[in-house]
């Protein structure tokens, strides 16, 4: 007897990601400058893909690549902020 196939979702995963800080407005209604990029998730995604390629495109470690990329990107912006 054949097993029923379960559908696979190719949609976005529900893993926890870093969120953008709220934008603070100054007295004149202008945004305060922040060293964190507008597209933080995109930058993390690009770095995670670079890590995947450096590993020879071997599947199965995407979550680890994401966490390492997130740590690297956030550390870089924290260094810039304190400098």
Domain extent listing, the chain: 40-82
Which residues have a Cβ under 8 Å from the Cβ of 48 and sit 6 or more positions away? 62, 65, 66, 68, 69, 70
Which residues have a Cβ under 8 Å from the Cβ of 40 and sit 6 or more positions away? 18, 20, 73
> pTM of the full predicted structure?
0.55
pLDDT digits (tens, 9 = 90+) for 28-37: 455 545 556 6
pLDDT digits (tens, 9 = 90+) for 4-35: 665 555 555 555 545 444 444 444 455 545 55
Q: Are 41 and 27 in contact (CB under 8 A)?
A: no
């Amino acid at each position: 007897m054949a097993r029923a196939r379960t559908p696979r979702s190719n949609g976005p995963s529900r893993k926890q990601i870093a969120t953008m800080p709220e934008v603070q407005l100054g007295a004149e209604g202008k945004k305060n400058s922040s060293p964190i990029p507008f597209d933080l998730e995109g930058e993390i995604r690009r770095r995670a893909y670079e890590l995947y390629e450096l590993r020879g495109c071997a599947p199965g470690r995407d979550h680890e690549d994401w966490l390492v990329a997130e740590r690297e990107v956030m550390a870089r912006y924290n260094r810039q902020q304190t400098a």
